[in-house]
Each structure stands twice: as C-alpha cells, then as structure tokens.
Amino acid sequence: MINFTQLVLASHNAGKLKELQAMLGDSVQLRSIGEFSTVEPEETGLSFVENAILKARNAARISGLPALADDSGLAVDFLGGAPGIYSARYADGKGDAANNAKLLDALKDVPQAERGAQFVCVLALVRHADDPLPILCEGLWHGRILMAASGEHGFGYDPLFWVPERDCSSAELSPSDKNQISHRARAMDLLRQRLGLK
C-alpha cells in the first residue's frame, strides 16, 4: 500500500482531471500538470504503456510530485488496432468530428459483425521521475463501431461506440453511468486497489 495525499495528473484536459478525481475519491488530491508547465511532452512510444510512462515521468520531473498519466484510445479489430495510440490525432489533429468521419469512412463497407472494437486505457503512476517500478493498470471496454453517430454525451469516439451491456452508444450514457463501466473506470478500479483506497 502506498500513501499519497497529492498526485499530479499528466494532462491539461480539465474534463479528464474532473473525471479521474471523481473516480479517485477525496483521499487523494489530483492536480493538473498545467499548474507547473504548459509544454506537452512528445509521445514517442509505440504503445499505450510506453506513452503513459513517458508522460508520468515528465510530469513528475516538472512538478516534483508523484505523477499519474493516462494514455487511452480506440482500437478497432478490422483496422489491426488502429487508430490506437494515434486516436486523438487520427485525422491530423482536426478534432473529434474529423476523427469520427475518418473512422466511418475507413469502415464504410465493413459489416456489423466485423466492427468489433475496444476502448483502451493504461494508467501509469510513478513515485518520482526515475521510479524503476511504475504502477501500471489497464482497462479494456469492448464494443463495436456503429454505422453512424448516436448520442450527445461524452467526447471523442463516444458517439460511434456501441456498448452491448447497455444497448446504446457510449454517448447515450449519462456521465455517471459511463464513469462506472468505461475503460478508464476499469483501469482506475485496479489502481485504487493497488493504492489501498476504499
């Protein structure tokens, strides 16, 4: 069991900070790396694990605090795991709508049965920048890609991701429901166990 009162989150995304803080609970204060630096590290890893560790080490180095990083994305079976680690910049950084349009185009002739996909989240926690033993927790959320967008909630690929256990798209889930079953929630459950949090 490791005790932290503060962690720095290796993200400038206010939505992600709020979501992860809600999942962590009140015993640990999550602070944004934005308090310490506006510079984003270059994500040079070839996997979610490598990029999460890279971001966590960078945040710990800049802040002097233990750091938590999240690297997540969408892996589509038919596309060999793409867009994968490039999910956020799949359409050359033009945003969610462009990413979704590119994905639908890539799958335009693919039947429902072959549109399996999973959201992936890897959380990496380091006690300090040179921590030789990062804590790694992975969450997978299985579903499939719809033929067209559906729903108003969420962000990213949520409108295209069908959630079989809820019989709706991820963007049709309430934020609280999504926070209980998503890839990020599953990874965070594992992290809470590793940290001995109730």
Q: Which residues are catalytic?
A: 71
CA distances from 114 to 51, 102, 143, 164, 191 (A): 28, 17, 11, 15, 32
> Which of 84-110 are b and which e, b meaning 16 or more Cβ less than 10 Å from the residue's Cβ?
bbebbebbeeeebeebbeebeebbeee
Annotated ligand binding at 155? The verdict is: yes
Annotated ligand binding at 42? The verdict is: yes
- 144: which strand partners? 116, 162
CB 18 within 8 A of CB 175: no
Annotated ligand binding at 72? The verdict is: yes
CA distances from 150 to 19, 110, 169, 175, 192 (A): 22, 18, 6, 15, 32
CB count, 10 Å around CB of 118? 18
Annotated ligand binding at 170? The verdict is: no
Annotated ligand binding at 51? The verdict is: no
ω before 159 within 30° of 0 (cis)?
no
Annotated ligand binding at 157? The verdict is: yes
Annotated ligand binding at 153? The verdict is: no
Annotated ligand binding at 96? The verdict is: no
Binding site listing for substrate: 11-16, 72, 155-158, 178, 183-184
Binding site listing for Mg(2+): 42, 71
Binding site listing: 11-16, 42, 71-72, 155-158, 178, 183-184
